Amino acid sequence: MTDRTPKRRFRSRDWFADPARADMTALYLERFMNYGLTPAELRDGRPIIGIAQSGSDLAPCNRIHLDLARRVRDGIRDAGGIPIEFPVHPIFENCRRPTAALDRNLSYLTLTELLYGYPLDAVVLTTGCDKTTPAAIMAASTVDIPAIVLSGGPMLDGWHEGELVGSGTVIWRSRRKLAAGEISEDEFLDRACDSAPSAGHCNTMGTASTMNSIAEALGMALPGCAMIPAPYRERGQMAYETGRRIVDMAYEDLRPSAILTRESFLNAIRLLTAIGGSSNAQPHIMAMARHAGVDLAPRDLTDHGYDLPLLANVQPAGEYLGERFHRAGGVPAVLWELLQAGKLDGDCLTCTGRTIAENIEPCESRDREVIRPFGDPLMEKAGYLALSGNLFDLGILKSSVISDEFRRRYLSRPGAQGVFEGRAIVFDGSDDYHHRINDPALAIDEDCILVMRGAGPIGWPGSAEVVNMQPPDALLRRGIAWLPTLGDGRQSGTSDSPSILNVSPESAVGGGLSWLRTGDVIRVDLNVGTCDALVDAAEIARRGAEAPPLLPESHSPWEELFREKSGQLADGAALEFALKYRGIAARTPRH
Ligand code: FES
Ligand code: MG
C-alpha cells in the first residue's frame, strides 16, 4: 500500500475542510448525511473516490456495472477511500437515434463538469459500449485527476445451431442472407438474440472490445481488465482490485497526464493492428490524444501500425469471440507478443505505477489458435492505411478485413498490383441508398464503388455507421456479396471488401465527395495510399462553383450545438473549443 501522505493535497478538502470558509463546510456536508454517511468520513482526510456509473437500463452493454460497483466500493473502502457513485450520460450504441456518435462528446462534456465541480479526488471510469470508453478518458484528461478504467467486459460467446455468432457480425451476415432469400425474418431475429447470451458488451472485436483493449494498452486499466467476460467471477475480482488501486493512485497523485503520452498512444496504435480493432478507433484515438495534449496525427495509425501483423483470431477479422480470446490471455498476451518482437515501448508508465513491460511480463498466450505468435500471424501488414487524394485529405482503410477473393479479383491484375478502379455510385445518405440501390438504371456491376456521402459529423449529424453498404439484390443472388465502398461516415461491423471510411473533410463542409458524381471513375492505389476521382481540375472547379448540397436541419438542441462545435473525423470529431481546457482540477472551483 502506498504511503498515506497524499503527494498533493486532496481537492475534496477544499469542500469539507477549508479553513478559510468554515461557514461553507456544513452546507457541503449535510445532504450526504441523509443517506447515512458521517461527517468524519468526509472530513478525516481520506480521498473521495468517484465511481462514474455508465450502466443503466438504457445502457444495457454497461449494465453489469450496477453490480460491479459493489465490488469497486469494497475495494475503495478496504484501501481507505470513500466511494461516491454517480451516473454519467448513458450511451447505447445500437439504439440511440440518429446515432450514438452524437453522445460521446455530450457524455464527455457532462462527465468533465461532474469531475470538476464536485469534491472528487480520483475516479473509477466504468466503461463498456463503444463510446463510453473514449468519452470517459477524454473527460479524465481534461480534468486530470487520478483515474482508472474498469471495463464491464464482453458478453459470453454466442452460439447458434452449433456455430459461433458474434455481435454485429451476425447482423451484417444475416442481412445478406435475408436479402438473398436464404433465411426468414424470424430466423434473423433468432440469430441476433443468440449472439447476445449474457450481460456485457459486444463479444466481437467491435468498437467496444477495441476501445477497452486500447484503454488497457494506454495504461489506464489494470492488466487483463479489458476482455474478462462480464459474467465471469474474475470480473468482480477485477472490480475489487480496481477499487483498491484507485485509492493508491489518489495518494500517489498518479494522473492521466502522466500516463497518456505520445509513446502510450503509439502502443495503442500497435495493439489496434494486432487485435484487428475497429475503424472507429481512429477518431476515438485522435480525440483522446488531443484532449490529453498529445501530438498525434491520423497518419500515425499507418506509420506505426500498418506494417504490423494481425495476431488475435477474433471476429470480424478472425474466427473467435471475446470469451476464448480472454482465455487465451487477452490483451496482455498480445502486448507480450509485441514486446518480445521489439514493437512495444515497454517503458510507458501505467495506472499500476509500474511500466507496461513490468505489468505484462511474462505473459505467453495459452491458446495459439487464438493469439498467434508474432512470427506466425494471421496476416502480415494488417494495419490501417491512411489514404488521401483529390476527394479527401484523409480516409482510412482496414486492411485486415480485405478478403483473399478481393485481393485476387481486384488487386492482383498484371501490371497493376494493389491498384483498383471503379465507377462511383453516389448516395446521399442511407435513405437514398435504400431507395435506389436496386434501381436497374444504375446498372451496378462488380466494377462499381458504392459511395456514401452526407454521413459525416456535420452532415448526419454525429456521423453515421452507414458506409458498409451491401450490393444490389441482383448481385447478391449472383453470389457477389460485397463491393468496395467509400464514404464520409463510419462503418459498423465489416465487409470483405475495402471500405474507405471516415473521409474528411466530409461533403457537408465542402469536401471532395460533394462534387463527385455517379459515373465518375475512382482510382485507388494502395501502394502509395492515394484515392482520386479521375476528373480534371477544370471540371472539379466548375462543379465546385455549383450550390453546395443542402444540410438536413437539426432536430434537437444538442444536434445544433454539436454541429456548430464538432471537428472532422480525421481529427477525432472532438469539440474543438474544449481542447484548450486541460488540467482544470488544478484550480478549485470558487465557492
Ligand atoms: Fe454496445 Fe456493441 S452495442 S457494445
Ligand atoms: Mg458498433
123-148 pLDDT, tens digit per residue, is 999 999 999 999 999 999 999 999 99
pLDDT of residue 410: 73
What residue's CA is closest to ligand 1, atom 1?
A: 129
| 166-191 average pLDDT score | 88
Ligand 1 atom, smallest distance to 208 CA? 4
pLDDT of residue 158: 96
Nearest C-alpha neighbor of 262 from the set 351, 347, 140, 354 = 347
Q: Where are the domains of the chain?
A: 46-156+201-359, 158-196, 384-545
Mean pLDDT of the chain: 95
331-350 pLDDT tens trace: 999 999 999 999 999 999 99
pLDDT of residue 552: 87
The response to whether residue 64 sits with its C-beta less than 6 Å from ligand 1 reads: no
Nearest C-alpha neighbor of 205 from the set 578, 492, 416, 584 = 492
69 CA distance to ligand 2 middle (Å): 25
The response to whether residue 356 sits with its C-beta less than 6 Å from ligand 1 reads: no
Closest listed ligand to the CA of 464: 2
- pLDDT of 384 strictly over 70: yes
Confidence of residue 179 (pLDDT cuts 50, 70, 90): confident
For residue 536, the SS3 value is coil
| 228-239 average pLDDT score | 98
The response to whether residue 428 sits with its C-beta less than 6 Å from ligand 1 reads: no
CA distance linking residue 2 with residue 51, whole number of Å: 21
- pLDDT of 549 strictly over 80: no
Ligand 1 atom, smallest distance to 130 CA? 4
In one-letter notation, the amino acid at residue 374 is F
CA distance linking residue 275 with residue 495, whole number of Å: 17
Tell me whether strands 419-428 and 448-453 are parallel, antiparallel or unpaired. parallel
The response to whether residue 94 sits with its C-beta less than 6 Å from ligand 1 reads: yes
ipTM of the complex, rounded to two decimals: 0.93
Which stretch of 17-21, 32-36, 214-218, 424-428 has the lowest confidence by average pLDDT?
Answer: 17-21
Backbone angles phi, psi at 429, to 5 degrees: 90, 170
- pLDDT of 11 strictly over 80: yes
Task: Please report which helix (H) or strand (E) contains residue 43, including its range.
Answer: helix 39-43
Which stretch of 307-316, 411-420, 579-588 has the lowest confidence by average pLDDT?
Answer: 411-420
94 CA distance to ligand 1 middle (Å): 6
What residue's CA is closest to ligand 1, atom 2?
A: 202
226 CA distance to ligand 1 middle (Å): 14
131 CA distance to ligand 2 middle (Å): 9
CA distance linking residue 425 with residue 449, whole number of Å: 6
- pLDDT of 568 strictly over 90: yes
494-517 pLDDT tens trace: 656 679 999 999 999 999 999 999
Which stretch of 92-101, 183-192, 332-341, 541-550 has the lowest confidence by average pLDDT?
Answer: 541-550
Give the residue, out of 202, 204, 211, with the most ligand 1 atoms within 8 A of its beta carbon, to mutate for a pocket test.
202
Give the residue, out of 167, 213, 321, 494, with the most ligand 1 atoms within 8 A of its beta carbon, to mutate for a pocket test.
167
| 237-256 average pLDDT score | 98
91 CA distance to ligand 1 middle (Å): 9
560 CA distance to ligand 1 middle (Å): 26
Ligand 1 atom, smallest distance to 201 CA? 4
The response to whether residue 61 sits with its C-beta less than 6 Å from ligand 1 reads: yes
Cell numbers given for 349 = 508508465
**Residues 6+ away with beta carbon under 8 Å from 435:** none
CATH number of this structure's domain 384-545: 3.50.30.80
For residue 182, the SS3 value is coil
Confidence of residue 327 (pLDDT cuts 50, 70, 90): very high
Ligand 1 atom, smallest distance to 128 CA? 4
Ligand 1 atom, smallest distance to 62 CA? 1
Nearest C-alpha neighbor of 126 from the set 26, 43, 20, 242 = 242
390-436 pLDDT tens trace: 999 999 998 877 777 777 777 777 777 889 899 999 999 999 999 99
Spell out which residues have Cβ within 5 A of ligand 2, the ion.
206-207, 492
The response to whether residue 211 sits with its C-beta less than 6 Å from ligand 1 reads: no
Percent of the chain with pLDDT over 70: 99
79-90 pLDDT tens trace: 999 999 999 999
pLDDT of residue 494: 61
Ligand 1 atom, smallest distance to 61 CA? 1
pLDDT of residue 560: 97
The response to whether residue 280 sits with its C-beta less than 6 Å from ligand 1 reads: no
440-490 pLDDT tens trace: 999 999 999 999 999 999 999 999 999 989 899 999 889 888 899 999 999
pLDDT of residue 168: 84
Closest listed ligand to the CA of 280: 2
- pLDDT of 187 strictly over 70: yes
CA distance linking residue 126 with residue 195, whole number of Å: 23
The response to whether residue 130 sits with its C-beta less than 6 Å from ligand 1 reads: yes
Task: Please report which helix (H) or strand (E) contains residue 419, including its range.
Answer: strand 419-428
pTM, rounded to two decimals: 0.97
CA distance linking residue 124 with residue 155, whole number of Å: 21
- Measured in residues, the chain has a length of 591
Between 187 and 498, residue with greater pLDDT: 187
The response to whether residue 208 sits with its C-beta less than 6 Å from ligand 1 reads: yes
Supply the DSSP symbol for 67: H
Task: Please report which helix (H) or strand (E) contains residue 359, including its range.
Answer: helix 356-360
166 CA distance to ligand 1 middle (Å): 11
277 CA distance to ligand 2 middle (Å): 11
- Give the CA distances from residue 544 to residues 391, 403, 519, in Å, rounded to whole numbers and listed in that order: 12, 36, 17
**Residues 6+ away with beta carbon under 8 Å from 533:** 389, 390, 391, 424, 512, 516, 520, 521, 522, 523
Task: Please report which helix (H) or strand (E) contains residue 39, including its range.
Answer: helix 39-43
Ligand 1 atom, smallest distance to 167 CA? 2
- pLDDT of 493 strictly over 70: no
558 CA distance to ligand 2 middle (Å): 22
The response to whether residue 124 sits with its C-beta less than 6 Å from ligand 1 reads: no
- pLDDT of 100 strictly over 70: yes
